[in-house]
Amino acid sequence: MKKSFLFKLKEGFIESLVFISGNLAILIVFLIVFFLFKEGIGLFNQQPLEEGTAIMLNPTNPIKELKPEEIKQIFEKEIRNWKDLGGKDEPIVLFTLSDVDRLFTLEELGSSFEYLPSKIGEYIMNNPGVIAVFPEKYLPPKIKKFHMKNISLKDFVGGKEWHPTATPAVQLGVLPIILGSLLVSLGAILFSLPIGLAVAVYLSELAPKNVHQVLKPTIELLAGIPSVVFGYLGLALLVPFVADFFDLPVGETALSGSILLGIISLPTIITLSEDAMKSTPSELKEASYALGANKWQTISRVIIPYAKSGIISASLLGIGRAIGETMAVIMVTGNAAVIPYLLDYEGHFKNPFYASVRTITATIASELGEAPQGGIHYQALFMLGCILFIITFIMNLIAEGLNLKKR
C-alpha cells in the first residue's frame, strides 16, 4: 500500500512537472512574439525623420508633402527646382547647420548661440525657395515644422530603398530584403529537394542495412554543425568556385547563398522524407510487386505519391530553416540591399541568382547592435523580425496542415 502511494505521488509529480513545463514554454513563446510586435508596431506612428530633426519651409511654399526619397534627391542635388515636386518655378535653397558660419557672424548669433533660432527664422522668411534642416532645439518660434506623413505598412513593405541611417529623412523600404530572402530560400529548396529526395529514396528502399546504419546518423549529425562553420567553408571554397565557374566579378551572390543553405537544409529534408516513405504500408508495396511492377516503378508510382504530403512538409520545414539562417548568408551573399531584377537597363535578361542580395536575418544581425534602442532604426529592424516570423509561421502552418492531411 505504501509503495503504491509513493508510486502515485511520483507519477503525479512528473505529470505536474510536464504540465507546468509545457505551459511555461507556450507562455514564453507568446511573450517573445508579443515583445517582438510591441517593439516593431510603433514604427508606424513616426515620421521618417532622423530623431530630433526638424524640416522647415517658407510659409508661402505650396508644397504639402515630401517623401523621404524626394528629400534624399534634394540633398543630393538631383532635384534643384520646386516645380519638379509640384511647387513654384523657383530654385531650391538648402539651409543647414553647416551654413550658419557662412551666413552669420558670431555677434549676430550671440556668444551662446541664443539668437540662432531667430536668425534661422529670418533667413527662412526671406528666401521663398528655402528648405531648412536643423535640430529641433533651434526651431524658430514663428516657423512651423514641416510635417511629413507617418510611415505606412505599404511604404515599409513596398519601398525599394533601405537607408535607415540616412539624414535627414530615413528610407525604410524592405522589399529588396524580403525578395532577397525569398530568392535565396527558393534557390536553396531547388538545390536541396532533388538531392534530398534521392538520398531519402536510397536510405528508405535501396541502401543495405549496414550502409543505412552509418549514413543515417552521419546525415543527422550535419544538422548539429554551427552555421558559422558552413559560412566559413562557403566563403573559402564555394564563393571562389561560383565566381570562376560562372565567370562572375564576385562570388558573393544569391546563388552562393542558395547552394550553402541548400546544404544546410539537406538533413531536415532527408530525415523527414525518409520517415514519410517508410510509413508507406507494406500492403501497397506488395500489391505493386504482385501486379508486375519492378522496384523503381513501385518507388515512383506508389511510395513517392503516398509520401507526397510528407515530402512537401519536409521541403517547407527545410526552407523554413533556410530562411532563418543568419551567419552563413551574411558571409556569402554580398549583403547588398538591392532588388534582384530579371532585366537589365537595356531590357536583356539577367539571372537574379548572380546578383548580390541581403536577407532579413543578415540585416537584423548586422544592424541591430548599432541601432539606438527605441529609435526608428531599432523599430524597423523589429518590424523586419515580425515579417520573418509571419513568413516562417505560414510555412510551418502549411507543413503541419499537410501532415494532418496525410494522417
Among 261, 270, 275, 351, which residue's Cα sits nearest to residue 307?
A: 275
Q: What pTM does this model have?
A: 0.85
pLDDT band at 338 (very low <50, low <70, confident <90, very high): confident
Q: What is the DSSP annotation of 308-370?
A: HHHHHHHHHHHHHHHHT--HHHHHHSB-------SB-TTS-B--GGGS-B--HHHHHHHHGGG
Q: Are 338 and 324 in contact (CB under 8 A)?
A: no
Cis amide leading into 305 (omega within 30):
no
58-77 per-position pLDDT tens digit: 998 998 888 888 898 998 88
Q: How confident is the model at residue 3 (pLDDT cuts 50, 70, 90)?
A: low
- pLDDT tens string 184-234: 988 988 898 899 999 999 988 888 888 888 888 888 888 788 888 888 899
- What's residue 314's pLDDT? 84
Domains, the chain, ordered by start: 53-149 (3.40.190.10), 175-406 (1.10.3720.10)
Amino acid at 385: G
Beta bridge pairs of residue 49: 169
Least Cα distance to 151 among 387, 383, 388 occurs for 383
| Cross-strand bridge partners of residue 94 | 131
Any residues with CB less than 8 A from the CB of 366 and at least 6 apart, and which? Answer: 330, 335
- The residue among 179 and 397 whose pLDDT is bigger is 179
* Separation of alpha carbons 329 and 307, rounded Å: 31
Beta bridge partners of 282: none
Among residues 195, 185, 204, 187, which one has the least CA distance to residue 307? 204
Give the DSSP letter of residue 299.
I
Gap between the Cα atoms of 200 and 278, Å rounded: 10
Confidence at residue 405, expressed as pLDDT on a 0 to 100 scale: 65
Instruction: State residue 406's pLDDT score.
Output: 58
How far is 46 from 271, CA to CA, in rounded Å? 47
